Amino acid sequence: MSGNIKTVAIIGGGPAGATLGILLAQKGLKAGIFHTPKRPALIVGESLLPAVVPMLRTLGIEEEVKSFSTHKPGATVCLNVQEVISAFFKWADGTLPDYAYNTPRDLFDQAVLDAAEKTGAKIFMAAAKLEKGKEPDSVRLADETLNAAGGFFGERPDLIVDASGRVRLIARLLDSPAKRGGRDDVALFAHLDKAVISDPGNIHIDYLTKGWSWRIPLPGKVSVGVVIHPKHLEQFGDTIEKQYDAYIREEPSLKFYTEGATRLTPVVKYQNYQLISQNMYGPGWVAVGDAAGFIDPVFSTGLYLSMKGAFELLKAIEVGSDDAMKEYESGRHWELKTWQRVIDSWYNGKLFNFYRVGQKHKGGLFGSRIERRVRKRLLRIFTGAAVDDPFNMKVFEYLTLLGTVMRNPADLVVA
């Protein structure tokens, strides 16, 4: 890896690639983004975390994002329609903003890309073609792609960044191994004209008899998604539209929350959750965002981790050494692995089992202490600060383990 990176070719103009483009241009480096405007009707990741807000400020786009988004003061978890847990960011004990945004991803993604161009990154409205290089595990831009860039990169870019999302362009080209998580769920979601939102602006996360769902209030509509194993959907029809419409009509909680609602958009399906690339960099290239790894939509970490990855990658690019790239890769692996442990506590029932332990004992001194700790841990998850401190993670895991001693979490396992 060269120690003098001046020109960077970014494959993909989504939030990870566009964020990196802005940061590179702010530093006076030459960044070219290959972007194809083709996109799904909807993109998963519409609810931002407070930890994203400082990034928006650095990128200079918070006010624009605010103009087309819904103010998000917190998060609401519904264990069932009678047992609703509200958490508000203003209760958190930390340095992050006490708000975030629920945002239409088409507008958000375009805002970041436009900002990249205004800051000085060059946008090429074309799909980049890659080919294997002469060195093992290396890649290069195809000659036709270099020609399409009109000499922008000189003879060759110093670095190629794979920001192609779950397409994972370089990993597929090199047949690089990836680690799959323990689940193989799919997400079906669409926008409805209305749905029950008990806490205005909050993202709502619901336990279901099978899987779980989200309700995200957006301007003039609500995003309603279901994350579920595909075998549970087979009985509801042979298309994703039939499966989605029938499931939200028949699943008791969703039926209650969406009674009388009309679907405004096509149904979109996402799969391949919990997929992490083993190799995130190689000779002359590096991966960022979902191309490096994606774990789960449950706590809205996907967009946050993608954009944070761009900030971390900038540091490695500025140093430009192999050791810096290795440190970037190990940092991404560590953060994804640590967030995976938090997410596993949702699926195995331990996270909200501890909440129920606190409710059972809240009349006593021990129970009141549990309740305060539960609230603090939940807020750290919902703000995006859950894994920032290894000590706090140890406390979190100790508390969830303690909860299993005091109560069986089997009734909160996500099937």
Q: What local confidence, expressed as pLDDT, does residue 358 receive?
A: 78
**% of the chain surpassing 70 pLDDT:** 96
**Which of 312, 340, 368 delimits the end of a domain?**
340
Q: What local confidence, expressed as pLDDT, does residue 186 receive?
A: 93
- Mean pLDDT score of the chain: 93
- Is 62 among the domain residues? yes
pLDDT over 80 (residue 136): yes
Q: What local confidence, expressed as pLDDT, does residue 365 receive?
A: 62
Of 319, 348, 338, the C-alpha closest to 391 is 338
Are residues 167 and 49 part of one domain? yes
Which neighbouring-strand residues pair with 70? 102
**Which of 236, 270, 304 delimits the end of a domain?**
270
Q: What local confidence, expressed as pLDDT, does residue 371 receive?
A: 65
Q: Are 280 and 332 in contact (CB under 8 A)?
A: yes
Question: What is the crossing angle of helices 15-26 and 301-319, to 10°?
Answer: 30
- For 1-52, write each residue's pLDDT tens digit: 456 899 999 999 999 999 999 999 999 999 999 999 877 879 999 999 999 9
Question: What is the crossing angle of helices 350-360 and 365-383, to 10°?
Answer: 150
Are residues 116 and 232 part of one domain? no
Q: What local confidence, expressed as pLDDT, does residue 242 receive?
A: 97
- Is 75 among the domain residues? no
Q: What is the mean pLDDT of residues 186-207?
A: 97
Are residues 264 and 133 part of one domain? no
pLDDT band at 369 (very low <50, low <70, confident <90, very high): low
Q: What local confidence, expressed as pLDDT, does residue 396 receive?
A: 83
Q: Report the C-alpha gap between 248 and 124 in whole angstroms.
A: 41
Are residues 25 and 108 part of one domain? yes
pLDDT band at 378 (very low <50, low <70, confident <90, very high): confident
* Domain limits for position 376: 348-412
- Is 93 among the domain residues? no
Are residues 170 and 32 part of one domain? yes
CA distances from 170 to 32, 154, 278, 320, 394 (A): 17, 22, 12, 20, 35
**Which of 237, 270, 303 delimits the end of a domain?**
270
Q: What local confidence, expressed as pLDDT, does residue 181 receive?
A: 84
**Structural domains in the chain (count):** 3
Are residues 108 and 125 part of one domain? yes
pLDDT over 70 (residue 363): no
Are residues 278 and 257 part of one domain? no
pLDDT band at 379 (very low <50, low <70, confident <90, very high): confident
Q: Report the C-alpha gap between 94 and 370 in whole angstroms.
A: 19
pLDDT band at 94 (very low <50, low <70, confident <90, very high): confident
- Is 112 among the domain residues? yes
pLDDT over 70 (residue 337): yes
Longest dimension (CA), the chain: 72
Among 36-40, 83-87, 292-296, 362-366, which is the least confidently predicted range? 362-366
Are residues 136 and 278 part of one domain? yes
Q: What is the mean pLDDT of residues 154-179?
A: 95
What residue type is assigned to position 302 of the chain? G
- Is 78 among the domain residues? no
Q: What local confidence, expressed as pLDDT, does residue 241 receive?
A: 97
Q: What is the mean pLDDT of residues 158-183?
A: 94
Distance, C-alpha 279 to centroid of its chain: 20
- In this structure, what CATH number is given to the domain that contains residue 247? 3.30.9.100
- For 105-122, write each residue's pLDDT tens digit: 999 999 999 999 999 999
Q: What is the mean pLDDT of residues 250-264?
A: 96
Are residues 39 and 112 part of one domain? yes
- For 339-351, write each residue's pLDDT tens digit: 999 999 999 999 9
Q: What is the mean pLDDT of residues 308-320?
A: 97
Q: Phi/psi at 9 (nearest 5 deg)? A: -100, 120
- Is 24 among the domain residues? yes
Are residues 310 and 281 part of one domain? yes
Q: Report the C-alpha gap between 401 and 339 in whole angstroms.
A: 17
Are residues 392 and 325 part of one domain? no
- In this structure, what CATH number is given to the domain that contains residue 305? 3.50.50.60
Q: Report the C-alpha gap between 155 and 35 in whole angstroms.
A: 21
pLDDT band at 377 (very low <50, low <70, confident <90, very high): confident
- Tokens 């039939």 belong to 242
- Is 301 among the domain residues? yes
- Is 97 among the domain residues? no
| More confident site: 297 or 332 | 332
CA distances from 377 to 22, 183, 399 (A): 33, 24, 10
Please say whether the dihedral angle defined by the alpha carbons of residues 49, 52, 57 and 62, taken in this order, is positive or negative. negative
Are residues 156 and 208 part of one domain? no
Write down how long the chain is.
415
pLDDT band at 403 (very low <50, low <70, confident <90, very high): confident
Q: What is the mean pLDDT of residues 216-225?
A: 98
Q: What local confidence, expressed as pLDDT, does residue 72 receive?
A: 98
